[in-house]
Amino acid sequence: MNARGLSERIVDFAALEWEHPAAFDDGIDQVVLVDTLDEHAKRGIRTRIVRFDPGAGTRVPFLHDYHEEVHLIDGDQSLVDVATREYRATYREGSYFVRPAGTPHGPFRSDAGCLLLEIHYYGSPEDTR
């Protein structure tokens, strides 16, 4: 346990309880590991695992006022053109994305399915180095 009374948490991927938030497209689920992100006060952090089933995708681009870092743990993910729905780029396992606040991204699709680790936070990305 640390000085703030927090202790280590070990996550067993096989035992995760996935949820499907109403804002997510079909075939995309999440497990929130840490969530102190306060979008009104502009502070905090959210760490979550996101899972795309094979063939699942998002329909619209994303834009938010917090920073986002994403590690593509497993599978594939493609950036899709909004107008034509054609693939613009495909990323593979091991890719890591750093998106400063205000960076448009998506929509995305996964042919084989994928597993993502997402970290959302306020403040400067340089503050974490």
pLDDT, position 3: 78
Q: Which two tokens stand for residue 14?
A: 């096989």
Per-residue confidence (pLDDT) for residue 1, from 0 to 100:
76
* 55's tokens: 């063939």
What is the per-residue pLDDT for 38? 98
Q: What is the DSSP string of 44-79?
A: -EEEEEEEEPTT-B-SS-B--SSEEEEEEEEEEEEE
Three-state DSSP class for 127? Answer: helix
Rounded distance between C-alpha atoms, residue 56 and residue 69, angstroms? 21
Give phi and psi for 127, each to the nearest 5: -65, -20
**Structural domains of the chain ordered from first start:** 30-124 (2.60.120.10)
Residue 126 phi/psi, 5° resolution?
-70, -25
Summarize pLDDT for 44-93 with one digit per residue, the tens: 999 999 999 999 999 999 999 999 999 999 999 999 999 999 999 999 99
